[in-house]
Amino acid sequence: MGLQNFGFMEIMIILVIVLLLFGAKRIPEIAGSFGKGINEFKRNLSDAQRQITEPAPRNDRVGGGTAEQTTAEEERPEPKRLLN
């Protein structure tokens, strides 16, 4: 049974059930949050497509980090053991 088999009566029954479950005041809130979710999904999808199509920025550094980062990692104390 696919979506093409839904008739007018089936859709009306579903809408009445939704109205009974959520109430008339809650339906606009649900619809609004659903619309915001769709807009956010579309925006994230277009951002992902743009990231794929744009060339990645070049990183000419060989080390991959600054001197401050490497010294901070070297000076980090050994973690304490919980069990002896």
Q: Is 31 inside any structural domain?
A: yes
Domain assignment present for residue 17? The answer is: no
User: What are the pLDDT digits (tens) for 67-76?
Assistant: 555 565 667 7
* 21, 13 Cβ separation under 8 angstroms: no
Distance CA 72, CA 68 (A): 6
How wide is the angle at C-alpha 48 spanned by C-alphas 47 and 54, nearest 5°?
Answer: 85
- Report the domain count for the chain: 1
Residue 46 has pLDDT above 90, yes or no: yes
- Residue-range definition of the domain harbouring residue 30: 23-54
Look at residue 36 and tell me if it is in a domain.
yes
Residue 9 lies in a domain: no
Domain-embedded: residue 8: no
Is the backbone of residue 64 left (phi > 0), alpha (psi -120 to 50) or beta? left
d(CA 53, CA 68): 34
pLDDT digits (tens, 9 = 90+) for 8-44: 999 899 989 988 998 888 888 888 999 999 999 999 9
Inside any domain, residue 46:
yes
